[in-house]
Amino acid sequence: MNGLDLEVITRALPWLAQGLQYTVQLTCVAALGGIALGTILALARLSSHPVVAGVAAGYVNLMRSVPLLLVIFWFYFLVPLGLQWVTGAGSPPRVGAERSAYVTFILFEAAYFCEIVRAGIVSVGAGQQSAARALGLDRIQVLVHVILPQAFRNMLPVLLTQAIILFQDVSLVSLLNVTDFVGAAGKIAQRDGRVVEMYLFVALVYLVLCSAASALVRRWQRTHSIGRHPETAR
Partner 1 sequence: MMIRPDSITALARALGLTGLVGALAASFSCALAQDLGGTLKKVREAGTIVVGHRDSSIPFSYLDDRQAPVGYSVELCLRIVEAVKDTLKMPALKVQMQAVTSSNRIPLLQNGTVDLECGSTTNSIERQRQVAFGLTTFVTNVKVVVKKSSAIQSLADLNGKPVATTSGTTSVQLLRAHEKAKGIDFREIYGKDHAESFLLLENDRAAAFVMDDILIAGLVANSRNAKDYRFLDEVLRTEPYGIMIRKDDPAFKKLVDDTLASLMRSGEVARLYARWFTSPIPPRSINLEFPMSKELAEAIRSPNDRGI
Partner 2 sequence: MNWQIFLETMPEGDAAWWEMLASGLGWTLACAACAWVIALAAGTGIGIARTGASRAAARAAIIYVELFRNIPLIVQFFLWYFVLPELCAPLKRWVIEADPSVVQFLAATSCLGLFTSARIAEQVRAGIESLGRGQRQAARAMGLSEAQCYRHVLLPVTFRVIMPPLTSELMNLVKNTAVAYSIGLAELFFRTREMGEITFRYFEAFAAATLAYMVIALAANRAMRFIERRIAVPGVAGTARSAH
Q: Does 187 bind partner 1 (CB under 8 A)?
A: yes
Kindly state the smallest distance separating residue 135's Cβ from partner 1, in Å. Answer: 32
Check binding of 177 to partner 1 (CB under 8 A): yes
Among 75, 76, 105, 108, binds partner 1 (CB under 8 A): 76
- DSSP letter at 173 equals G
Nearer to partner 2, 39 or 171 (CB): 171
Nearest distance, CB of residue 104 and partner 2, angstroms? 14
Residue 57: Cβ-neighbour burial (10 angstroms; 0-12, 13-18, 19+) = middle
Helix ranges, the chain (H): 7-45, 50-65, 68-87, 97-124, 126-134, 139-141, 148-169, 181-192, 195-224
> Does 95 sit near partner 1 (CB under 8 A)?
yes
Residue 22's binding partner among partner 1, partner 2, none (Cβ under 5 to 8 angstroms by kind) is none
In angstroms, the CA 117 to CA 155 distance is 7
Q: How far, in whole angstroms, is CA 183 from its chain's centroid?
A: 19
Q: Is 50 in the site for partner 1 (CB under 8 A)?
A: no
Cβ 155 vs Cβ 119: under 8 Å: yes
> Which residue among 8, 15, 133, 229 contacts partner 1 (CB under 8 A)?
15
**What are the C-alpha distances in Å from 118 to residues 23, 151, 154, 206?**
27, 9, 12, 30
Phi, psi of 226 (to 5 degrees): -90, 120
Cβ neighbour number for residue 24 with a 10 Å cutoff: 15
Give the binding site for partner 2 (CB under 8 A): 1, 62, 64-70, 73-74, 77, 168-169, 171-172, 174-175, 182, 186, 195-196, 199-200, 202-203, 206-207, 209-211, 214, 234
Q: Does 19 bind partner 1 (CB under 8 A)?
A: no
- Shortest spacing between CB 136 and partner 1, in angstroms: 35
d(CA 190, CA 210): 26
Question: Is residue 81 at the binding interface for partner 1, with CB under 8 A as the rule?
Answer: yes
What is the pattern of x (binds partner 1, CB under 8 A) and - over residues 118-157?
-x--------------------------------------
Q: How far is the CB of 135 from partner 2 (least distance, A)?
A: 34
Rounded to whole angstroms, the Cα distance separating 44 from 38 reads: 10
Which residues, 6+ apart, have CB-to-CB distance to 73 below 8 Å?
176
Which position among 24, 195, 205, 209 is part of the footprint of partner 1 (CB under 8 A)? 195
Contact residues toward partner 1 (CB under 8 A) are 15, 54-55, 57-62, 64-65, 76-78, 80-82, 84-85, 90-97, 112, 115-116, 119, 158, 161-162, 165, 175-177, 187, 189-193, 195, 234
